[in-house]
Amino acid sequence: MTDLVHVRYEQTGQSSKINNSGMREMQAKAFAARNSQYLLLKAPPASGKSRALMFIALDKLINQGIKKVIVAVPERSIGSSFATTDLMQYGFFANWQPNDNYNLCTPGTDGSTSKVGAFKNFIHTDEQILICTHATLRFACEELEESEFNHVLLAIDEFHHVSADADSRLGELLRSIMQNSSAHIIAMTGSYFRGDSVPVLTPEDEAKFDKVTYNYYEQLNGYTYLKSLGIGYHFYQGRYTSAIMEVLDTDKKTILHIPSVNSGESLKDKYGEVDFIIDHIGAIDHVDSETQVIYVKRHSDGKIIKIADLVNDNSIARDKISAYLRQITSADDIDLIIALGMAKEGFDWPYCEHALTVGYRGSLTEIIQIIGRATRDSQNKTHAQFTNLIAQPDAQDAEVNLSVNNMLKAITASLLMEQVLAPNFKFKTKLSDDDLPEAGTIKIRGFKMPSSKRVQDIIESDLNDLKATILQDSQMLKAMPGNLEPEVISKVLIPKIIQIKYPELNAAEIEEVRQHVVVDSVIKNGEIKQEGNKQFVRMAGKFVNIEDLHIDLIDSINPFQKAFEILSKSVTTRVLKLIQEAINATRIEMTEKEALLLAPKFNAFKQHAQRNPEINASDPLERRLAEFVLYMRDYARKKANHG
């Protein structure tokens, strides 16, 4: 099956290296922000968020006056990620040692009286660390005053479960704790910018958080073993069981998510579906009574395949197999995990090579989390694969066919824009035709500068998230195939989506944001060409001078249609790197004189750090040195092109 997207990485090993405190690259980046009262840590699965929290939490307990740490996870199985950990052996100043009595992620009902009682008891004891589920946190907070969280660090894992929706109890209690206590909060997620209809935080609340971002590209590009990631879709006709064996390769370590029983793809018999899959793999040799691992002798060659069934509702069997999976230490310990709702997020099986999902997934959050199951770095694999097996629509129904395919492309495009293709242009208004162009700045006549800080924040930080929302809007999907004029899409549909997403904006602010969304999409989806001090963008087969690119012209094209076609094709590391460098270079304002002054500082930095400076570093000097590197590369290219 051909991948819609195939990304190769440089295999530098950087993200897996540890410093003299035992911290990996992302963890050190997060620890540098340890003094923040409110910290939002956005990093992909497998980047080490759990341990990053341990480092920060221990510093807050020992050095910052915090008395207690509460870690909340969405489901019990994820609680094991925060078990006792020896950090001192790698150079840190303390170990993570929670008391087993206050690890409430044990079998039983999350909202039980005993767990809520244990939570309340913890608040009034000298114990310092408690681990619980989101549900236990919700129920306990109903019986506690917000002031009880004074001098407490509240860490919420998989933070995308919080919502700004009024019906989200977790979101409501978080806002109340922020408003009425001195609590510190660390929010961690691998899929914060999900493009879903309801935001995780309101803009006002989000503005209170300091943010540490570590993206998929940084993570995977720095791996030691994993070199490439494939994302693909496979269509079937009839029942999915007729096609499942075409995409299930039992020689690859696989997590298979069968469809929800409420979905159209489900056969409404989840146990029967699991039995069908196992029967087509081979004959059951035996089931280990202690671990519940199913040993299956493969039909093709008699090889024993070890299968974990997480679909089974029997609580005893489920707890046994879950405990076994938490203790895996070798790629040989399990071959296939079959799940329904479990093992999507926070589930750590580093040996997984293939995340195979049956049925359409409407949430970008879910897609990103499932992909993350396969993107751990492990010596048993060089390639990770995400495959979505989906029912093919009736070929006679053109509208359904286009809608499904466009939605698939929208999810893929959103995923790439969020996690890989995330650079932004910064536009400035051209005041007059006589103005000289500033280096690295695209100027467009008629383009309004942000009239408020809120608009400026959206333009600088939220454009990718906003475009993901636009791409997945149901009305937009219907318009994409050419059913509406581009001008209607640009001037009617997009403003409507912006108004829904940012209800606090007035009409003038909505128009400012709309212009930036459209222009940003045109620039990114076009081909940029530099001739002297002029920049051109290729649209509809011809080059247009960017300085002559009026808003009226932009409004007459559909900036999103081409985005679908571009992002459905192959993406390589070389292409990604060139795109990112080209875009970053256009944002840099630097003179030759400053470059000469920065050269010795760059050499000193590289000699001391043994690496190049990073464009996303928290230190402003390091960021400027990274811009110096891009400036010099761009300078060398221009010199070579012009002799």
pLDDT tens digits for range 410-439: 444 433 333 322 223 444 454 444 444 444
**Which CATH number fits the domain that encloses residue 368?**
3.40.50.300
Q: Can you give the pLDDT at residue 345?
A: 60
Q: Are residues 268 and 128 in the same domain?
A: no
DSSP state of 436: P
Confidence of residue 319 (pLDDT cuts 50, 70, 90): confident
- 259: helix, strand or coil: coil
Query: How much is the pLDDT for 395?
Result: 40
Lowest average pLDDT, out of 24-28, 161-165, 235-239, 521-525, goes to 161-165
Residues 280, 190: one domain?
no
* pLDDT (0 to 100) of residue 489: 72
The contacts found for 328-333 with CB under 8 angstroms, 24 or more apart, are 331/253, 331/378, 331/380, 333/306
Residue 362 pLDDT: 56
- pLDDT tens-digit readout, 573-631: 443 454 445 545 656 778 888 889 999 999 999 999 999 898 767 788 888 998 898 88
528: confidence class by pLDDT, cuts 50, 70, 90: low
Q: Can you give the pLDDT at residue 265?
A: 76
Angle (CA) 299-304-309 rounded to 5° is: 95
Average the pLDDT over 258-271 and give the result. Answer: 83
Residues 372 and 511 in one domain: no
Kindly tell me if the per-residue pLDDT of 323 is higher than 90: no
Are 501 and 465 a contacting pair, CB within 8 Å?
A: no
**What would the two tokens of residue 520 be?**
């940003």
Cβ atoms within 10 Å, residue 96: 21
Of the chain, the percentage scoring pLDDT greater than 90 comes to 27
Examine the pLDDT at 57 and tell me if it is beyond 90.
yes
- Which DSSP category does 243 fall into? T
Q: Strand 304-309 to strand 294-298: parallel, antiparallel, or no bridges (unpaired)?
A: antiparallel
Specify whether 209 is located in the same domain as 246: no
- Could you tell me which residue, 477 or 174, shows the higher pLDDT? 174
For residue 398, is it within any domain?
no
Strand pairing partners for 391? Answer: 236
Q: Kindly state whether residue 606 falls inside one of the protein's structural domains.
A: yes
Region 462-482 average pLDDT? 67
User: For residues 321 and 347, what is the distance between their CA atoms, to the nearest angstrom?
Assistant: 13
Tell whether 425 and 388 lie within a shared domain: no
Beta bridge partners of 30: none
d(CA 533, CA 542) in angstroms, rounded, equals 19
Structure-block tokens of residue 337:
């995990």
Residues 536-576: pLDDT tens digits?
A: 655 444 555 555 555 555 555 555 544 333 333 333 344 34
Both 36 and 121 in one domain: the answer is yes
Q: Are residues 345 and 474 in the same domain?
A: no
571 in a structural domain: no
CA distance linking residue 476 with residue 409, whole number of Å: 13
Q: What's the domain count of the chain?
A: 4
Q: What is the pLDDT of residue 27?
A: 92
Q: If pLDDT is split at 50, 70 and 90, which confidence band does 86 have? A: very high
Domain boundary among 195, 216, 237: 216
Q: Tell me what pLDDT residue 617 has.
A: 76
Structure confidence by residue, pLDDT tens digits, 32-41: 999 999 998 8
Question: Would you place residue 458 in the very low, low, confident or very high pLDDT band (cuts 50, 70, 90)?
Answer: confident
Residue range 281-303, pLDDT digits in tens? 999 999 999 999 999 999 999 99
Lowest mean pLDDT among 101-115, 192-206, 405-419: 405-419
Is residue 578 situated within a structural domain?
no
Question: Which of 598, 626, 601, 600 is CA-nearest to residue 612?
Answer: 626
Domain that holds residue 501: 413-560
Do residue 193 and residue 272 come from a single domain? no
Residues 84, 137 share a domain: yes
Three-state secondary structure call for residue 232: strand
pTM check: above 0.75: no
Contact 255, 374 (CB under 8 A): yes
Mean pLDDT for all residues in the chain: 76
**Rounded to the nearest 10 degrees, what angle do helices 507-525 and 494-501 cross at?**
120
pLDDT in tens, 378-422: 899 988 888 888 776 444 444 434 444 444 444 444 333 333 222
Pair 428, 388 in one domain? no
Complete edge-to-edge strand list for the sheet that includes strand 5-8: 5-8, 228-236, 383-391, 354-358, 254-257, 336-339, 304-309, 294-298, 282-287
What's the confidence (pLDDT) of residue 10?
Answer: 60
Structural domain contains residue 158: yes
pLDDT at 227 over 70: yes
In a domain, 577, yes or no: no
Tokens, residue 266: 């489900």
| Residue 495 and residue 428 in one domain | yes
Which stretch of 55-59, 188-192, 366-370 has the lowest confidence by average pLDDT? 188-192
Q: Answer whether residue 280 is part of any domain.
A: yes
Predicted local confidence at residue 445, as pLDDT: 55
The C-alpha atoms of residue 273 and residue 263 are separated, in whole angstroms, by 14
Confidence at residue 161, expressed as pLDDT on a 0 to 100 scale = 62
User: How much is the pLDDT for 463?
Assistant: 75
Collect all residues with Cβ–Cβ distance below 8 Å to 554 and sequence separation of at least 6: 490, 515, 518, 519, 522
* Cβ atoms of 91 and 123 closer than 8 Å: no
Question: 202 and 232: one domain?
Answer: no
CB-based contact 152:91 (threshold 8 Å): no
**CA 81/CA 633 separation, integer angstroms:** 42
Asked if residue 134 belongs to a domain, the reply is yes
Higher pLDDT, 407 or 63: 63
